[in-house]
Amino acid sequence: MRTVFLALGLFIASTLPALAASPHNTYTHNTAFAVPEQSYQLAATWFLPDWQAGLVSRTDTAPAGSGDPSLSDSACLTTYNLFSACVAPQTIKKTYNFGKLTCYDCVCPSSYQYTSSNCSNGYTLAGGSCNGKYLQCDPSACPSGYTAGKTCASGYDREVNGKSGSQDCARCVAKGCPSGYSAGLSNCNGQSYTEGWTYSSNGYAGNSICGKCTAKSCAPGVYCRAGQL
């Protein structure tokens, strides 16, 4: 048995110098036996993670170039303040090529011209939008109960609440009669002795006249019937 181990040891000892002398031998970390330090060479990198896919030919899970952050969708915006694509209704104003990366300067059609700076105070932005600008500037709708441009007769107060375009949003609210007057009183015929009353009016409450009846007074020493007396 000692003879067998001695022969094996002599074989290994005679083989190692020959292996070390060959420039074509490449060893990895999985080598099962010790060899002189000068016999090691760099191993191939195919076993490294796929983030190297853009540098080597192994592309099992990642396409070539996918490891380059400059080719991401946001690179145009973050790096060059440009866009990777122009979204409708934008159109391409100018194209820029940065190697493998293509970016665009996008512009909105001139018909998109309204913003809050030139469409307000009775107007509302409407229609499609493009980069914060709108196609239309329409008159705003009036609140419920109000009408754009409404006018009122003399018996009403005109109450305004906002604007619709250049017109006021308004409604008409019936006025009250002055103190001592009654809405809808147009004569003194309802009095028991009409000749004893003086009728007067003072404006309108809505469409109703404001009137009152004032009892007449008798001249001194003259018999008369003043009011109901």
> Residue 126: inside a domain, yes or no?
no
CA atoms of 90 and 204, how far apart (whole Å): 60
Confidence at residue 192, expressed as pLDDT on a 0 to 100 scale: 74
Label residue 72 by pLDDT band (50, 70, 90): low
168 domain residue, yes or no: yes
Does the residue 228 lie in any domain? no
Give the range among 9-23, 30-44, 154-168 with minimum mean pLDDT. Answer: 30-44
Confidence (pLDDT) at 71: 63
pTM above 0.75, yes or no: no
- Evaluate whether residue 112 is within a structural domain: no
In sequence order, which residues have a C-beta less than 8 Å from that of residue 192 and are 6 or more positions away? 228
Q: How many CB atoms lie within 10 A of CB 114?
A: 22
Q: Please report the pLDDT score of residue 223 as a whole number.
A: 60
If one counts the domains in the chain, the total is 3
Which among 128, 156, 174 is the end of a domain? Answer: 174
Indicate whether 84 belongs to any domain: yes
180: in domain: no
pLDDT, average across residues 186-212: 90
113 Cβ contact partners less than 8 Å away, ≥ 6 residues apart: 133
Specify the higher pLDDT residue, 212 or 70: 212
Please compute the mean of the pLDDT values over residues 136-144 and round it to a whole number: 97
User: Does residue 40 register a pLDDT over 60?
Assistant: no
**CA gap 191, 229 in Å, rounded:** 12
Residue 78's domain comprises 74-107
The single residue listed with the structure tokens 């899970």 is 61
Using DSSP's 3-state secondary structure scheme, residue 136 falls into strand
Closest CA to 60 of 68, 52, 50: 50
Q: 10 Å Cβ neighbour count for 87?
A: 9
Residue 55 has pLDDT above 80, yes or no: no
Under a CB-based contact definition with an 8 Å cutoff, are residues 39 and 20 in contact? yes
Which of 101, 110, 157 has its CA nearest to residue 131?
110
Q: What is the DSSP secondary structure assignment for residue 193, as one 8-state letter?
A: S
What mean pLDDT is reported for the chain?
76
> Around Cβ 197, how many Cβ atoms within 10 Å?
20
Residue 164 has pLDDT above 60, yes or no: yes
Q: Kindly tell me if the per-residue pLDDT of 42 is higher than 60.
A: no
The percentage of residues in the chain with a pLDDT greater than 90, rounded to a whole number, is 54
Most confident of the following: 56-60, 152-156, 186-190: 152-156
pLDDT in the model for residue 19: 47
Residue 74's pLDDT is 84
Whether 149 and 171 have beta carbons less than 8 Å apart is answered as no
Mean pLDDT computed over 104-113: 95
Please determine, for residue 138, whether its predicted confidence score (pLDDT) is greater than 80.
yes
Q: Where is 101: in which H helix or E strand?
A: strand 101-107
Question: Percent helix, strand, coil in the chain (nearest 5)?
Answer: 15, 30, 55
Q: Is residue 227 part of a domain?
A: no
Please determine, for residue 157, whether its predicted confidence score (pLDDT) is greater than 70: yes
For range 20-32, the mean pLDDT: 45
